[in-house]
Structure 1
C-alpha cells in the first residue's frame, strides 16, 4: 500500500509537470492572456487611492532616482547611447523634416518669440552683469584696434605716410602708460554697458516686430529636406558625447538634492489628485494600452526566457521548491492518509 509520503511525492511530481506544461508552447500564450484578463478584472474593482499608498509611492520614486539614476549602467550607457545616436545608419535614410513636424517647429518658434517677459528679463540681467563690461570692453577694443589697423594699412599705401605713422606710433607708445591703457579699456567697458542698456528697447522691438519667425522657418526649411546626418556638420561625435555626458552630470548632481525630492513629491501628489479617484484598470487606456497589448508584449519575451529556464532544470526546481511545503505538510499528509484508509 502506498504511504502518504510517497503519494504526496507523486502528486508533487504531477503538479510540477502540469505547471511546466502550462508554461510551454501555445498554452503559454493562452495562460498569459487568461492571467492578464483576470488581473485587469480585479484591478477594475479597485480605486487607485484606496490600494496604493501615496507615501509608499514617494519612497519608491526616491529609491529609483537614487539607486537607478546613479547606477554604473546608466553612467556607462550615457556615452554609449550618444555614440550610437551619432553613428546610427538611420541618420542617412531619414530627413529631418520627416522626423520633426514643421507645424510643431513653427509653434515652438512662435511661442518663444511671444515670451516677452523672458526676453526682457534676460536682457536686463545681461546688462546688469559686471562681466558684460569686461566682455564689452574687449569687444570695443577689438573693433577699434581692427579699424585703426585697417585705416593704417590703407594710409600706408600713400607715399611718405608710412614713415610719419611710424614715428607717431613710437611717440604715442612712449607717452601712453599701462594705467592709461587700462583706463581706456575700463572706459570702453562702461560705455559699452551703457550702450547695451540703451539698446535694450531696440532689441525688444526687433524681437517683437522683425520677421524673426519667418526667418527661423526659412532656416528650418533649408535643413528639413536634408538627412538627419547633416546635423553632424554642427558638432563632432566627441562634442556630442561630451555634451550628453555634461548634461548627465548636471542631472546626476541634482538627483539627490532636497529640491528634486520635493518636486518628485509634488508630481506624485498631482498624479493622485488627478487620478486617485479612478479605478486601477482605467489607468491602462490612459497611457495608450489595453489588455491585449499587455499580453502580447509579455508573450514576446516570456517564451524564450521560460524555455531557457526549463532547459537547465532551473524552472522545474523553482516550481518544486515552492510547492513541496504544501504537499509535505502535516495537513496534506493527514488528508492523503484519510483518503487511503477510506478508499
Structure 2
C-alpha cells in the first residue's frame, strides 16, 4: 500500500494527541468513570444471558482441570501460612473473637435433635457395637487379673483363676466365649444404654459448658499449635488428594446439574437488576472505582503508552480508516 504523506502526518498528529491525553491521570479517571456510569445502569439480562454465564462457568471451572502448578501453589501457600513466624506470637484468641465462639457453642448446644440422631446413628453402628463388646470383655479380664483384691489378698488371684477353671469344666464352656456370646446377645440393650448415657452426658447445658471449657483451654495457645495436627511435609500429597477428589466431582453429572440450577436460580433473581446493585453485592461502588481501581489501572495505562503498544494498535486502526475508500473520497474532495 502506497503511503500518503498527508495521511501519515494526520495519523502521527492523532497518535501524539492520544499519547498526551492518556498520559494525564484525569483523562483516565474521566473515561473510566464515564464507562462505569454507563455500565452500572445496564440490567444483567441486557448484556449477558443465562446460557452465556452458565457456559462460561461450565467451561472454565468444570470442564477445565486445575493445573499442577495451581495445586502446587495451593500447597505452598498453606505451608507458608502454617510456618509463618507470626504463628508463634499469635494466640488463637487473637484471631477468633470470643463472642463468636460463644455463639457457636450456643448454636451447637441448642441442636438437641441433631445431636440425638447423631448419637443414635453412632451407637447403632456395628463398629461401635464391636468396640463396646471388646471393651467390656477386656475390662472383665483385666479386673480378674489385676483387681485390688486379687493383688492385695494372698491366694485370691489363684482362687479366682481356679474358680474360672472349675466353672468352665462344669459347664463345658469357655468363660471368655460365654461372656462374648452374652454380650453379643445383649448388644442391643448395651447400645440403648450407651445412647441414654451419651444423651445425658451431652445435654444442651453440659455440651455448652464442654465447649466453653475447651475454648478456655486452647484460647491462649499459639496458632503454631496447628502444626501438631497438620503434617507440613505431607501437604503436596494431601492437597493432591483433594485435587483428585475435585477432579472427579467436577466431571460428574451431579455437579454439572447443581451448577446449572444454581446459576439459573441466581440469574432469575437478578436478571432485571442493574450492575450497580450487582456490584454493590461485591462491595464495589463508585468510591472504589475512583480510588482503588484507578490506582491499579493508571500504571497499566502508562505502561501501554511508554511501551508504544497503544500507539502501535491505534496506528493500525487509523491506517485502516484513512486509507479506506470512504476516507479517501473525503480527503480528495
Provide the TM-score with structure 2 as the length reference: 0.80
1:221 corresponds to which residue? 216
> 2-side partners of 1:183 and 1:49: how far apart?
75
How big is each residue's C-alpha offset from its partner over 1:51-92, in whole Å with a ceiling of 9 and x where there is no partner? 321122111121232255623333222211210110123323
> 1-side partners of 2:32 and 2:201: how far apart?
59
Deviation at 1:246, TM superposition (A): 4.3
Gaps of 5+ in 1: 339-343
Is 1:99 the counterpart of 2:95? The answer is yes
1:37 corresponds to which residue? 33
Alignment coverage as a number of residue pairs: 332
> 2-side partners of 1:75 and 1:188: how far apart?
50
> 2-side partners of 1:181 and 1:21: how far apart?
96
Q: Matched residue of 1:278: which SS? A: coil
Deviation at 1:241, TM superposition (A): 6.3
**Compared with structure 1, are the counterparts of its residues 35 and 92 closer, same or farther at alpha carbon in structure 2 (3 Å cutoff)?**
farther
Is 1:330 the counterpart of 2:325? The answer is yes
> 1-side partners of 2:132 and 2:189: how far apart?
10
Deviation at 1:196, TM superposition (A): 2.0
Moved more, 11-20 or 162-171: 162-171
The within-5 A match list for 1:186-225 is 188-189=183-184, 191-225=186-220
Deviation at 1:216, TM superposition (A): 1.1
**Compared with structure 1, are the counterparts of its residues 55 and 224 closer, same or farther at alpha carbon in structure 2 (3 Å cutoff)?**
same
**Compared with structure 1, are the counterparts of its residues 73 and 306 closer, same or farther at alpha carbon in structure 2 (3 Å cutoff)?**
farther
1:284 corresponds to which residue? 279
Gaps of 5+ in 2: none
Give RMSD over aligned pairs.
3.8
Provide the TM-score with structure 1 as the length reference: 0.78
**Compared with structure 1, are the counterparts of its residues 294 and 90 closer, same or farther at alpha carbon in structure 2 (3 Å cutoff)?**
farther
> 2-side partners of 1:263 and 1:213: how far apart?
36
1:341 corresponds to which residue? none
Is 1:321 the counterpart of 2:316? The answer is yes
